[in-house]
Amino acid sequence: MRYINKQNGKVAEVIKQDDKAATYKIRFIADGTTKDISYSTFKRWYKKIDTVDPEEIPDDQYTAEIMAQKKDLGIECPEIKEVEVVSEDVAGDGTPLAEVGKEIAEQAKKKAAAAKREKAVREKKAPKVDIAEAQAPVSKAITDLGLIVKTYAGSSRNFTVKNEAGKTVCEVYFGSKKFALMVRASQVPEGFTADRVRNCPSSHAFDFAYSEVDRFTDLLNTIKEEN
């Protein structure tokens, strides 16, 4: 049985279930790589899909299934009124499959660029905040997850977040209009992409408007569960 990541479209299958650790070992279909992922993260980001063998069903039914999966991923697809199979190298309308793949990639690229522009506009419009006041809901979100906030003299804009064992989970920096969660590259959960990558131990930074504490909490909880 196969599953698709709702954020990045990667298809994977479960190859091992560990009830004691509450994790699945999944294998990505595209490159065969494997990854351990917690039950809760898997449930949040992965959706079961039906795998279809084109040799077992009519061509028009297979094409309809593929188009439905594209729609679930948010890829715009024109309505198919007629299907004609020309060869293995072309789609039903005669378009080379390579061109179809290129079109899908371009649409995904445009969606990502649009999302980035919208985020930039939100951050530009965000008013400057009182840092101490803005830190309070973020600090509460961290402690509500059972984590510990450490602060140091002379670094009022920085939190070091630790677990009960005293291990550092992440760093949080507070700016005048937004705040950032910073982790090591190995801690970035499947399905998430950092906003910035820097040359330092906590290299991968995720930016948040001060109105996005809930989104920050979701990401931090995922990092906590997977690490």
> 75-100: per-residue pLDDT in tens?
555 555 554 554 555 555 555 656 66
In degrees, rounded to 5, the angle at the alpha carbon of residue 199 between the alpha carbons of residues 194 and 203 is 35
**41-83 tens-digit pLDDT:** 898 888 888 643 444 434 544 454 455 555 555 555 555 555 4
Same domain (yes/no): 73, 157:
no
In a domain, 108, yes or no: no
The arithmetic mean of pLDDT across residues 93-114, rounded, is 71
Same domain (yes/no): 175, 86:
no
User: What pLDDT sits at residue 61?
Assistant: 43
- Average pLDDT over the chain reads 80
What's the CA gap between 145 and 163, in Å, rounded? 10
Same domain (yes/no): 71, 153:
no
User: What pLDDT sits at residue 210?
Assistant: 92
Same domain (yes/no): 96, 144:
no
Report the side by side order of strands in the sheet with 46-49.
34-38, 23-28, 11-18, 2-5, 46-49
In a domain, 117, yes or no: no
User: What pLDDT sits at residue 55?
Assistant: 45
User: What pLDDT sits at residue 146?
Assistant: 95
Contacts of 86 (CB under 8 A, 6+ apart): 92, 94
The region that residue 172 occupies, defined by phi over 0 for left and psi between -120 and 50 for alpha, beta otherwise, is beta
Nearest to 178 by CA among 117, 139, 116, 123: 123
Same domain (yes/no): 85, 11:
yes
In a domain, 53, yes or no: yes
Beta bridge partners of 46: 5
The arithmetic mean of pLDDT across residues 189-204, rounded, is 91
Same domain (yes/no): 76, 156:
no
Amino acid letter for position 28: F
* Domain interval for residue 18: 2-101
**17-32 tens-digit pLDDT:** 998 888 999 998 888 8
User: What pLDDT sits at residue 54?
Assistant: 43
User: What pLDDT sits at residue 53?
Assistant: 43
